[in-house]
């Protein structure tokens, strides 16, 4: 029965997911086509390009959330010279092509840019293509050239299903980053109870989402609570109530084992609060999950025993949502299969991403774990 449920879940995900990324002259990637699966774990040395690929989703989040999203992203990233491969002198233009598997065909978003005055980037082409199953020619929607922000949002109308579906896909690819857990981080302060549609990229509405789980999805809430107990021995339960001073806000409060003294988010370690955010993100009900979750080094600050739990959460979530995880942890890597893994390497100043072939590793995997094989630089992705 469980096997049948897993098959049905993956068949459902097969209908909508990011199938392919093609990049030209983008950051450290000169020319690369990356085929994606439901679960994708990227490993490689520092500077191999893992974060450059993951940052693509940060750009999408800003491009299609508000304006001037793309211009802001270019400016905050150091300008066109930092985004174009080896600088605008060597690569005056860049291209991106994202192909999504839709329920009845392939939807592709294409954008190309050129360096412009003020170290900015302008669109030299932007278009949507939809190739319906069984057809040889796609429907093409040209979105123009010469603009500094995407024209896709303005192109969406009630009658234009092609652009509407493409925008929905792009907006549902989300990068989450829980690295800031300092004492001033927003996740340690009260959150707005009205922000309960989905977990924010920095988890600053974590308490709000946990309260939603408690009220609407009690089984999920209990699962998150039990998962956190496994990771944090002192933790017993959450205390989730609106603030007595402002009923529109809520603090992340909790009890430790054997005590009825209320503790706050400032009494959690960095790793503990980060793990709470990860467990909540990966345990969301299907209707709250994005199409794609991207995480850069989710293992940071976590005890090695927590990585097995985290990997289990990721694999379970991949039944309903596509995942891209970038890591440098051999212990975390041990909990995945070779076919889940993309190796990031730097060759002559260019990032290369290649999926592992389990058949080629069979001899090694008889004696070593996958993480050990990677550490020995058998499959590449090492610092030398």
Q: Where are the domains of the chain?
A: 1-172+291-384, 183-289
What share of residues in the chain are helix, strand, coil (percent, to 5)?
35, 30, 35
pLDDT digits (tens, 9 = 90+) for 297-342: 999 999 999 999 999 999 999 999 999 999 999 999 999 999 999 9
Structure tokens at 361: 């590793």
Query: According to the model, what pLDDT value does residue 384 have?
Result: 57
Query: According to the model, what pLDDT value does residue 59 have?
Result: 97
Structure tokens at 41: 């774990």
Query: According to the model, what pLDDT value does residue 66 have?
Result: 75
Query: According to the model, what pLDDT value does residue 67 have?
Result: 75
Query: According to the model, what pLDDT value does residue 4 have?
Result: 47
Query: According to the model, what pLDDT value does residue 3 have?
Result: 43
To the question of pTM greater than 0.75 for the whole model, the response is: yes
Query: According to the model, what pLDDT value does residue 19 have?
Result: 97
Written in H, E and C, the secondary structure of 289-328 is: CCCEEEEECCCCCCCHHHHHHHHHHHHHHCCCCEEEEEEC
Whether cis (ω within 30° of 0) applies to the bond prior to 229 is no
Query: According to the model, what pLDDT value does residue 259 have?
Result: 95
The full DSSP string for 166-211 is HHHHHHTEEEE-----STT-GGGS-EETT--SS--TT-TTHHHHHH
Query: According to the model, what pLDDT value does residue 159 have?
Result: 82
- From the list 137, 134, 136, the residue with the least C-alpha distance to 104 is 134
- Given a cut of 70, the residues of the chain with pLDDT beneath it are 1-14, 383-384
The SS3 of residue 116 is: strand
Query: According to the model, what pLDDT value does residue 358 have?
Result: 85
The SS3 of residue 253 is: strand
Reply yes or no on domain 1-172+291-384 having CATH 3.40.50.300.
yes
């Amino acid at each position: 029965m469980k096997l049948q449920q897993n098959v049905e879940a993956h068949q459902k995900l097969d209908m909508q997911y990011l199938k392919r990324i093609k990049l030209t002259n983008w950051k450290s990637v000169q020319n690369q086509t990356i085929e994606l699966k439901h679960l994708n774990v990227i490993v490689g040395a520092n500077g191999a390009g893992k974060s450059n690929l993951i940052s693509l989703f940060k750009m999408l989040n800003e491009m299609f959330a508000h304006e001037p999203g793309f211009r802001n992203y270019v400016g905050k990233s150091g300008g066109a010279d930092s985004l174009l491969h080896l600088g605008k002198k060597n690569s005056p233009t860049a291209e991106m092509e994202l192909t999504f598997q839709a329920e009845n065909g392939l939807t592709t978003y294409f954008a190309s840019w050129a360096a412009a005055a003020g170290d900015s980037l302008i669109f030299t082409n932007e278009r949507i293509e939809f190739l319906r199953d069984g057809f040889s020619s796609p429907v093409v929607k040209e979105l123009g050239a010469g603009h500094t922000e995407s024209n896709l949002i303005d192109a969406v109308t009630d009658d234009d299903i092609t652009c509407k579906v493409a925008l929905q896909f792009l907006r549902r690819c989300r990068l989450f980053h829980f690295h800031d857990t300092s004492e001033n981080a927003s996740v340690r302060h009260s959150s707005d109870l009205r922000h309960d549609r989905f977990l924010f990229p920095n988890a600053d509405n974590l308490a709000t989402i946990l309260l939603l789980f408690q009220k609407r999805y009690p089984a999920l809430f209990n699962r998150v609570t039990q998962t956190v107990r496994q990771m944090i021995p002192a933790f017993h339960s959450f205390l989730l109530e609106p603030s007595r001073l402002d009923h529109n806000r809520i603090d992340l409060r909790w009890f430790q084992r054997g005590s009825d003294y209320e503790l706050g988010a400032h009494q959690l370690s960095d790793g503990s609060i980060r793990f709470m955010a990860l467990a909540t993100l990966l345990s969301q009900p299907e209707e709250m999950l994005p199409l794609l979750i991207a995480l850069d080094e989710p293992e940071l600050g976590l005890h090695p025993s927590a990585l097995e739990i985290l990997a289990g959460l990721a694999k379970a979530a991949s039944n309903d949502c596509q995942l891209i995880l970038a890591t440098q942890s051999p212990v975390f890597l041990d909990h995945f299969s070779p076919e889940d893994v993309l190796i990031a390497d730097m060759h002559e100043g260019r990032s290369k991403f290649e999926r592992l072939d389990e058949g080629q590793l069979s001899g090694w995997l008889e004696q070593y774990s996958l993480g050990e094989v990677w550490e020995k630089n058998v499959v590449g992705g090492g610092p030398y």
